Chains A and B, each alone.
Chain A
């Protein structure tokens, strides 16, 4: 617990003081994201000559391989890293802000609420007339859930109390999503709940990337800007306020940032769980316990996790393709159980 105090005590002297270890972690993770993005582009269901397709694409020839590369492989890889980064970053920011090791957009119900918003907009036909409505629907859902949780946290809910509220919110949003899908007159709608609850990146298009990228970038910026405030908050709200942290501004930036990043991500990929829960815990031993220091690495690690999971579902010989949330839950759910047990052990 020495490190945060020392850093907080001299916030002005911090900018150049990024420890070498943290810089190395960020560099390695960034390289891993890049490498996995390329692997993701290279992997698929049909034999495919990537260099030739790339050459066609660069030369502006509209051949089939160029089209598949640009309209299917590239969007899938990009969305994997974008959605993963959003989830990892949001998880780290929320764990820091709520000072709750179990906080995660999936567990707290923000992802499910985003899915509900996107489902209402999409199946109601709004997204057909205005494509931007889809991410906006997701953002509205995620924003409402984040505000609600924030209000609960402000009333002083305990660590587990907040998580239980999130579980309730998550179930409610899931049930309403099922209801909305069953009310749709389209016969396929009711069967599509798996996509919204488990998430998938299969057969997405570049349109989806274009829709969510700008909104995500704003969300990331807002959340990353809270780094030093989150560090100060580890000392408690009063101390943080006395250090000059504007609590209202921090809260506003986090809620808006989480809503933008998770909401637009879920609107195009469905709710992929556990990413935001797992990666901050994996990053902490590497970059230290300061929440601010964990933000960027957690985002990158989230991208690595989702890209790896998405490569995994394509390598597994299951058709129809396994949903992404299945893979992340296989990793994340045992992790959550261990965390809960350890949490209890500490208290006993």
Chain B
């Protein structure tokens, strides 16, 4: 077993320079994605036979916007042994996930592309272009960016700058300065999270959330399936009362999670909810 592993290891090392040299000239053909957000872009931008594996998260429709595309693609849990065994010529990873594996892959000078976390829409556009370029399909990246911009342009921003507060499971909110904050602003709304006491992870005490007196409370679309305390928090009587006043809007978490064309959907839904005539104070 050990001998074979060592042989495989050397085989990869030997193949590396060739792959790297080829990588700049032509498209990679053995792409492995190790991050849900990378999965979403890779599955949309690459040819199907370029993609060797994505993460197991990509198949979960609760968190992934590419669950149907990922259905036939092999998945990994991002463990070093899994990735090395696949002999990838391009690994796309998140800058903050599966760090141990990424460190190991870098040590064997495997070609790794690390994706940052964009903080605004320009960052989203740049990341789409970056991934498309690495996959050898820059024209698809341009098309995706154009599609995103067209969808954003078709949104009528909120006519009044309503105050919005995002509440996710476990009472997490969208902290100011991130992509979610940029999406709220793109919809013409004001992110209340900046005003209220929240910790550095963006967790808000329920009473602070209620007393913030937001015009619009943005909750996760009720996830079907078995319950958790984190989810039931969003069904607290305080939120039910606010929902009765027409102050809540539900947007599935998967649209917020990753930078991609789906973020336009968030902006559209936020703006639509804000422009909807309702019994709002």
Contact = CB atoms under 8 A, between A and B. Distances in A.
A67 B228 CA distance: 24
B21 interface: no
A186 B226 contact: yes
B227 A62 contact: no
A64 to B, nearest CB: 6
Interface string A308-337: 000000000001110000000000000000
Contact of A128 (B62, B197, B201, B227): B227
A188 B229 contact: yes
B3 to A, nearest CB: 36
A267 to B, nearest CB: 12
B207 A48 contact: yes
Chain A CB within 10 Å — which of B62, B210, B231 has the most?
A: B210
B222 to A, nearest CB: 11
B171 interface: yes
B226 A185 contact: yes
Given A64-B213, A203-B206, A319-B203, A71 B226 contact: no
Given A45-B197, A195-B229, A71 B237 contact: yes
Contact of B205 (A127, A202, A207): A202
A323 B213 CA distance: 27
A46 B197 contact: yes
Contacts of B208: 45-46
Contacts of A72: 206-207, 210, 236, 238
B211 A46 contact: yes
Nearest to A205: B237
B226 A184 contact: yes
Interface string A155-191: 0000000000000000000000000000011111101
Chain A CB within 10 Å — which of B199, B212, B226, B231 has the most?
A: B226
Interface string A62-77: 1011011001110000
Interface string B68-79: 000000000000
A320 B205 CA distance: 9
A185 B225 contact: yes
Nearest to A47: B211
A124 interface: yes
B241 interface: yes
Contacts of A125: 226-227
A48 B211 contact: yes
Contacts of A57: none
Contacts of A54: none
A238 interface: no
Contacts of B206: 72, 202-203
A67 B241 contact: yes
A97 interface: no
Given A123-B227, A184-B226, A195-B229, A45 B237 contact: no
Nearest to A190: B228
B197 A192 contact: no
Contacts of A124: 226
Given A68-B210, A68-B238, A127-B227, 18 more contacts: A45-B207, A46-B212, A64-B211, A65-B211, A67-B241, A72-B206, A72-B207, A72-B210, A72-B238, A186-B228, A188-B230, A195-B229, A202-B205, A203-B171, A203-B236, A205-B238, A206-B237, A321-B205
11 contacts: A45-B197, A45-B208, A46-B196, A48-B207, A64-B210, A68-B210, A71-B237, A71-B238, A122-B227, A185-B225, A188-B231
Interface of A: 44-48, 62, 64-65, 67-68, 71-73, 122-125, 127-128, 184-189, 191-192, 195, 202-203, 205-207, 319-321
Closest 8 CB pairs of A and B: A319-B199, A188-B230, A45-B205, A188-B228, A186-B228, A46-B211, A203-B206, A46-B208
